[in-house]
């Protein structure tokens, strides 16, 4: 599987690789529990701890030294998140190829039945059709379309926002054990709120 331009011996279609992924997730969860109990010196220490967790996961999942090959140095949480998203996208792409290959071509009888079904959907037939030729048919109304700004338009956007929410929750959970960091975060939020309402 190619992740961030690097080839790794991993496939989401290989049962052994999926077992390795489950084990890596369990080990990362256990490490995360230990990390949350550790005393932190500040926000930078929290981010480095999260980076270490993710890099350990990548090394276990993709092979020893994978995080180094992916350019991770343990300081950039954003880079770790980008690698996580790249892995998710590569897995989704691999699974999509299986779904496409599983689609069987239809035989002639199935194609005709599908065409008839489509015709019935497009043109409704009624008993009175053709009985009143002097009555002009009304033009079809255009459907009312309304864009909803509260929900994302695409599945990728939904996935991206969900990932951001999960990352934000993990960061807040990591901050809960550090009262100084929480105080700094609260002060910063109040500062932002006051600047926006001036």
Sign of CA dihedral 83, 77, 67, 62: negative
**pLDDT confidence bin for 177, thresholds 50/70/90:** low
Residue with the bigger pLDDT between 51 and 189: it is 51
**pLDDT confidence bin for 144, thresholds 50/70/90:** low
User: 3-8 long-range contacts, Cβ below 8 Å, gap at least 24?
Assistant: 3/62, 3/70, 3/83, 3/86, 3/87, 3/90, 4/70, 4/71, 4/82, 4/83, 4/86, 6/66, 6/69, 6/70, 8/62, 8/63, 8/66
Q: Tens digit of pLDDT for each residue in 105-131?
A: 667 887 788 788 877 776 555 555 555
CA distances (Å), origin 172, targets 27, 29, 82, 167, 187? 21, 16, 19, 9, 15
Q: Are 95 and 12 in contact (CB under 8 A)?
A: yes
Hey, which of 68-72, 96-100, 180-184 has the most confident mean pLDDT?
68-72
- Domain layout of the chain by residue ranges: 2-102+157-196
Q: Tens digit of pLDDT for each residue in 178-192?
A: 666 666 666 666 666
Report the C-alpha gap between 10 and 7 in whole angstroms. Answer: 9
């Amino acid at each position: 599987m190619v992740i961030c331009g690097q080839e790794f011996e991993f496939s989401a279609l290989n049962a052994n690789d999926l077992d390795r992924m489950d084990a890596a997730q369990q080990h990362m969860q256990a490490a995360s529990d230990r990390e949350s109990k550790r005393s932190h010196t500040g926000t930078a220490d929290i981010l480095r701890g999260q980076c270490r967790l993710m890099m350990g996961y990548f090394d276990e999942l993709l092979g020893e030294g994978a995080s180094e090959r992916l350019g991770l140095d343990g300081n950039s949480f954003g880079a770790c998140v980008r690698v996580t998203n790249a892995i998710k996208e590569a897995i989704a792409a691999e699974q999509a190829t299986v779904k496409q290959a599983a689609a069987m071509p239809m035989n002639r009888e199935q194609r005709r039945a599908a065409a008839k079904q489509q015709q019935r959907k497009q043109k409704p037939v009624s008993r009175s059709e053709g009985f009143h030729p002097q009555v002009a048919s009304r033009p079809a109304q255009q459907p009312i379309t309304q864009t909803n700004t509260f929900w994302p338009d695409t599945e990728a956007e939904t996935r991206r926002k969900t990932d951001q929410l999960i990352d934000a929750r993990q960061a807040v959970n990591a901050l809960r054990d550090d009262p100084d960091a929480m105080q700094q975060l609260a002060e910063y939020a109040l500062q932002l709120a006051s600047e926006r309402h001036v």
